[in-house]
Amino acid sequence: MKLSLLLDPRLIRIGVPCNSYATAMRAVLDPIRRNYSFEVSGEAIEAALMKPGETCEDRIENGIAVTRASIPHLPDLLIALLVPAAPVTAREGEVRLFVLLLSGSETADQSLKVGESFIRLANDKTLFQSLLTAQSPNEMIDCIAQAAIAVPSELTVSTVMLREVLTVSPETTLRELLALLCTRHATFITVADAQGKFLGEIHLEDILRLGFPDYAFQLGSLNFLSSFQPFSELLDKGLGTTADRIMKSPPYRLSPDSGVAEAVFEMVNHHHRSAAVLGPGNTAVGVLNTTDLLRKLFNLV
Amino acid sequence: MSYQMLFAVVSFVVLFILISTEKFNKTILALFGAFLFISIGIIPQEKAFLAEDWNVIFLLIGMMIIVGITKHTGLFQFVAVKMVKWAKGRPFVVMIYLCLVTALFSALLDNVTTVLILTPITILVTVELGLKPIPFIIAEAISSNVGGTATLIGDPPNIMIGSAVGLSFMDFVVNLTPVVLICLALFIGMAWFFWGRTMYVSNERRARVMEFDEYKFLQDRRLLIVSLTVLGLVIVGFLVHSLIHLEAATIAMAGASLLMLLSGKHEVDKFFEEVEWGTIFFFLGLFILVGGLVEVGAIKKLAEFFLSLTGGDIKNTTLLILWVSGLFSGVVDNIPYVATMIPLIKEMGTADPALAGNAALLLPVWWALSLGACLGGNATLIGASANVVSAGLSAKSGYPISFLEFTKYGVVITLAHLAVCTVYLLIVYF
């Protein structure tokens, strides 16, 4: 599906003065409030948009800010664009194009795909520049149409992955590892060599599993004993164990271009709550996390 | 030797070597070989089906179902822990009891399932006692092969021999169990010298193991009662099957059907999942391969060669078969070996005018084949399936057993066992 066909010229604003991220968000929402009526008040949507990570999700890359928000019972996917008169400073850098995606539960995955299309569009410097210099909404739509930007037919991992990857070296001790996991409230960490090459991954369960060799699982239950030597040993002496002894190689490989269905299948199949996403040079470029994945896929942002 | 015979022998030897290296799946090799033999006319299709020993096939299927269901009752783990507690955690006594339990289960069930179930609990017990698990795992693997030798159903070579020669469960018990008990006693003595002398367990560790609650293993009491009842009936059936004129396979399948009927709650598909279909199809392919060798006359030639070596003397033949089988089984899979030897020994019975018409004269040779093939598997890590399975489980739990580690004990024990069997066969049958 062509991205240009989804755009409504009434929801595109060009050259609007915005002195902050919040002002820009209000400005991009404005034509939606004027042209569409919902059961939810405009103020409620605006309030939702002001809480990134809770009620909305934004992604800022290469001068574009894509904000996705879920509006219950919204029967459509609404795409609003705003080119500020001057770049707006945000925490991830300057924003030159704001994209607001409002979706209902039925259009959640489409919203993710459209967001991904805009991110890819911004990677094309020439196209992005021509969009920013468009004189009218229709000219902007024509520009996207001529570039034949398509909405991907399948959700890819890059759309839904978290880009912040916690990585440690193989020599990191369990004590250091646990400190890091606790500080960052994480349950998953990747292990990489000095060049950043992915060596393995560690799930919280892997750490606990150190206390239970294979024979314990062969027995199926340990209810007949009150203490278990390997587990006691882990608690007594385990903190010095290094990451390379805990890490495991994932039985599957996910890249940013892998399909979300494929990724979810692998995670479910291997009972993994997190998975590393590997990019060029075998470096971890992202993490898939079940909680975050569910939130995004079911549009619960 | 005709070209057809030459091709059959060469193909069989190549397949035999490939199967023994375990580099390829042995079932696929056997089935592919069977297809090759049929397709190029070494054995006609009709005769290929007649070459199958259905008694072996259904005895294996029946016992696999019975054991597969019974293992879910926790009975085996219960008995193992009970033994450890009866031994009061004294390390060498624990080893003796576990070896005896392994040998008993292997005699009445099958040795691979026995080590599959007992190895994990053995590792757990030894680790909790602060002992090295590897000596116990090796001892149990050896005990399982020794115990399996005692009965018709204990080890696949015995199932094949019993079915091919028409020997009953009691024939095996009467003729093999005494020597197996001697071998087991000898092994326990050797185990004391190998490992027992240096074992030590602290009082704290011993107390910890004595607190195990073995009754927690018995979660499904109903299934336990049903399984034990059916297993008991099947064993009684085996003891009297020659009197009631029923093959052991019929007894096993009847027991399996009854157990499936009484266990109730599972779906039928679950019961059939307990059957190791790979093993069953391996036998199906193997019987056709050996049938092909018989068909082209290769077995007859080999039998004549054997007779020429021993001059037709039964005593010499018995001892030759015992030692050749023992040494062969240490390095190659004993199942295809026995499958090849069965028609060969039968052929010797017909080729020698002194033996023709008097099958009883050949009995010592059959017992020698059984003892050699079953006990010979103890010589190396790859000599028997039970060794491979226990070493695999041990390695997965962080206790790898090297080929050399196993073999340095296995060879000595096997030579001692073969020597005992030689004396036994000479005293009892000659």
Average pLDDT, chain B: 90
Of residues A105 and B107, more confidently modeled = B107
Claim to verify: residue A194 and residue A263 sit in the same structural domain:
yes
Claim to verify: residue A115 and residue A215 sit in the same structural domain:
no
Please list, residue by residue across A254-272, b when 16 or more beta carbons sit within 10 angstroms of its beta carbon and e when fewer do: bebebebeebbebbeeeeb
Tell me which residues of chain B, numbers 129 to 148, contact chain A at a CB-CB cutoff of 8 Å: 130
Comparing A248-252, A253-257, B176-180, B335-339, the range with the smallest average pLDDT is B335-339
Residue ending a domain, among A153, A185, A204, is A153
As a whole number, mean pLDDT of residues A140-160 equals 86
Query: In this predicted structure, what is the pLDDT of residue B356?
Result: 67
Whether chain B has a CB inside 8 Å of the CB on A209: the answer is no
Whether chain A has a CB inside 8 Å of the CB on B204: the answer is no
Give the mutation candidate from B127, B205, B212, B389 for the A interface (greatest A CB count, under 10 A): B127
> Cα distance from A212 to chain B (closest Cα, Å)?
9
Of B329, B327, B326, B368, the C-alpha closest to B348 is B368
Q: What is the percentage of chain B residues whose pLDDT exceeds 90?
A: 54
Whether chain A has a CB inside 8 Å of the CB on B207: the answer is no
Claim to verify: residue A283 and residue A202 sit in the same structural domain:
yes
Identify all chain B residues contacting A210, using CB atoms and an 8 Å cutoff. Answer: none
User: Each residue of A186-195: pLDDT tens digit?
Assistant: 889 999 999 9
As a whole number, mean pLDDT of residues A228-254 equals 91
Claim to verify: residue A145 and residue A177 sit in the same structural domain:
no
pLDDT band for A39, please (50, 70, 90 cuts). Answer: low
As a whole number, mean pLDDT of residues B254-274 equals 85
* Closest Cβ–Cβ partner in B120, B213, B214 for A218: B120
pLDDT band for A93, please (50, 70, 90 cuts). Answer: confident
Give the mutation candidate from B122, B124, B215, B401 for the A interface (greatest A CB count, under 10 A): B124
CATH of residue A134: 3.40.930.10
Query: In this predicted structure, what is the pLDDT of residue B336?
Result: 83
Contacts of B419 (CB under 8 A, 6+ apart): none
Claim to verify: residue A135 and residue A13 sit in the same structural domain:
yes
Closest residue on chain B to A232 (Cα): B128
Query: In this predicted structure, what is the pLDDT of residue B245?
Result: 84
ipTM, two decimals, is: 0.75
Q: Is the pLDDT of residue A26 over 60?
A: yes
Q: Does residue A265 lie in a domain region?
A: yes
As a whole number, mean pLDDT of residues B10-20 equals 86
Burial of B295 (0-12, 13-18, 19+ CB in 10 A): buried
Closest residue on chain A to B76 (Cα): A219
Claim to verify: residue A186 and residue A256 sit in the same structural domain:
yes
Claim to verify: residue A177 and residue A267 sit in the same structural domain:
yes
Whether chain B has a CB inside 8 Å of the CB on A214: the answer is yes
Asked whether the beta carbons of residue B124 and residue A219 sit closer than 8 angstroms, the reply is: yes
Query: In this predicted structure, what is the pLDDT of residue B59?
Result: 87
Q: Is the pLDDT of residue A300 over 60?
A: no
> Cα distance from A219 to chain B (closest Cα, Å)?
6
CATH of residue A182: 3.10.580.10
As a whole number, mean pLDDT of residues B1-24 equals 84
Question: What sign for the dihedral angle of Cα B44, B48, B51, B54?
Answer: negative
Whether chain B has a CB inside 8 Å of the CB on A226: the answer is yes
Label residue A196 left, alpha or beta by phi (over 0 means left) and psi (-120 to 50 means alpha). left
* B25: phi then psi, degrees, rounded to nearest 5: -70, 120
As a whole number, mean pLDDT of residues A267-271 equals 92
Whether chain A has a CB inside 8 Å of the CB on B121: the answer is yes
Q: Is the pLDDT of residue A103 over 90?
A: no
Q: Is the pLDDT of residue B266 over 70?
A: no
Q: Does residue A239 lie in a domain region?
A: yes
Whether chain A has a CB inside 8 Å of the CB on B81: the answer is yes
Claim to verify: residue A7 and residue A148 sit in the same structural domain:
yes
The shares of helix, strand and coil residues in chain A, as percent rounded to the nearest 5, are 45, 25, 35
* Closest Cβ–Cβ partner in B81, B208, B393 for A224: B81
What is the 3-state secondary structure of chain B?
Answer: CCHHHHHHHHHHHHHHHHHHHCCCCHHHHHHHHHHHHHHCCCCCHHHHHHHCCHHHHHHHHHHHHHHHHHHHHCHHHHHHHHHHHHCCCCHHHHHHHHHHHHHHHHHHCCHHHHHHHHHHHHHHHHHHHCCCHHHHHHHHHHHHHHHHCCCCCCCHHHHHHHHHHCCCHHHHHHHHHHHHHHHHHHHHHHHHHHCHHHCCCCHHHHHHHHCCCHHHHCCCHHHHHHHHHHHHHHHHHHHHCCCCCCCHHHHHHHHHHHHHHHHCCCCHHHHHHCCCHHHHHHHHHHHHHHHHHHHHCHHHHHHHHHHHHHCCCHHHHHHHHHHHHHHHHHHCCHHHHHHHHHHHHHHHHHHCCCCCCCHHHHHHHHHHHHHHHHHHCCCCCCCCHHHHHHHHHHHHCCCCCCHHHHHHHHHHHHHHHHHHHHHHHHHHHC
Of residues A106 and A65, more confidently modeled = A65
Whether chain A has a CB inside 8 Å of the CB on B171: the answer is no
* Closest Cβ–Cβ partner in B120, B127, B215 for A219: B120
Checking A9-12 for CB contacts under 8 A at 24+ apart, the result is A9/A136, A9/A137, A9/A138, A9/A141, A10/A35, A10/A137, A11/A35, A11/A78, A11/A79, A11/A80, A11/A81, A12/A80, A12/A81, A12/A82, A12/A137, A12/A140, A12/A141
Comparing A135-139, B134-138, B336-340, the range with the smallest average pLDDT is B336-340
Query: In this predicted structure, what is the pLDDT of residue A54?
Result: 63
Of A127, A98, A105, A108, the C-alpha closest to A32 is A98
User: Each residue of B344-360: pLDDT tens digit?
Assistant: 888 887 777 776 667 77
Contact A300, A67 (CB under 8 A): no
* Closest Cβ–Cβ partner in A223, A226, A228 for B211: A226
Q: Is the pLDDT of residue A106 over 90?
A: no
Asked whether the beta carbons of residue B393 and residue A218 sit closer than 8 angstroms, the reply is: yes
Q: Is the pLDDT of residue B146 over 90?
A: yes
Query: In this predicted structure, what is the pLDDT of residue B139?
Result: 97
Side chain identity, residue B372: G
Claim to verify: residue A109 and residue A178 sit in the same structural domain:
no
Tell me which residues of chain B, numbers 242 to 301, contact chain A at a CB-CB cutoff of 8 Å: none
Identify all chain B residues contacting A226, using CB atoms and an 8 Å cutoff. Answer: 211
Identify the domain containing residue A61 by its residue range: 3-153
Query: In this predicted structure, what is the pLDDT of residue A156?
Result: 86
As a whole number, mean pLDDT of residues A76-91 equals 89
Residue ending a domain, among A153, A185, A211, is A153
> Cα distance from A200 to chain B (closest Cα, Å)?
19
Q: Does residue A161 lie in a domain region?
A: no
Query: In this predicted structure, what is the pLDDT of residue A55?
Result: 63
**In a 3-state reduction of DSSP, which class is residue A16?**
strand
* A300: phi then psi, degrees, rounded to nearest 5: -95, 25
Of residues B408 and A296, more confidently modeled = B408
> Cα distance from A225 to chain B (closest Cα, Å)?
5
Q: Does residue A158 lie in a domain region?
A: no
Of residues B215 and B19, more confidently modeled = B215
Whether chain B has a CB inside 8 Å of the CB on A210: the answer is no
Of B111, B112, B132, the C-alpha closest to B123 is B132
DSSP A161-230: -BS---EE-TT-BHHHHHHHHHHTT-SEEEEE-TT--EEEEEEHHHHHHTTS-HHHHHH---TT-S--HH
Identify all chain B residues contacting A221, using CB atoms and an 8 Å cutoff. Answer: 216-217
Claim to verify: residue A281 and residue A254 sit in the same structural domain:
yes
pLDDT band for A137, please (50, 70, 90 cuts). Answer: very high
pLDDT band for B39, please (50, 70, 90 cuts). Answer: very high
Q: Determine the Cα–Cα distance for residues A258 and A156; give it in Å rounded to an integer.
A: 6
Asked whether the beta carbons of residue B124 and residue A214 sit closer than 8 angstroms, the reply is: no
Closest residue on chain A to B131 (Cα): A229
Asked whether the beta carbons of residue A214 and residue B128 sit closer than 8 angstroms, the reply is: no
Claim to verify: residue A179 and residue A64 sit in the same structural domain:
no
Q: Is the pLDDT of residue B220 over 60?
A: yes
Measured between its terminal Cα atoms, the distance across chain B in Å is 36
* A56: phi then psi, degrees, rounded to nearest 5: -145, 165
Asked whether the beta carbons of residue A225 and residue B123 sit closer than 8 angstroms, the reply is: no
Beta bridge partners of A12: A81
Query: In this predicted structure, what is the pLDDT of residue A160?
Result: 85
Residue ending a domain, among A103, A122, A153, is A153
As a whole number, mean pLDDT of residues B270-274 equals 84
Number of independent structural domains in chain A: 2
Of residues B424 and B328, more confidently modeled = B424
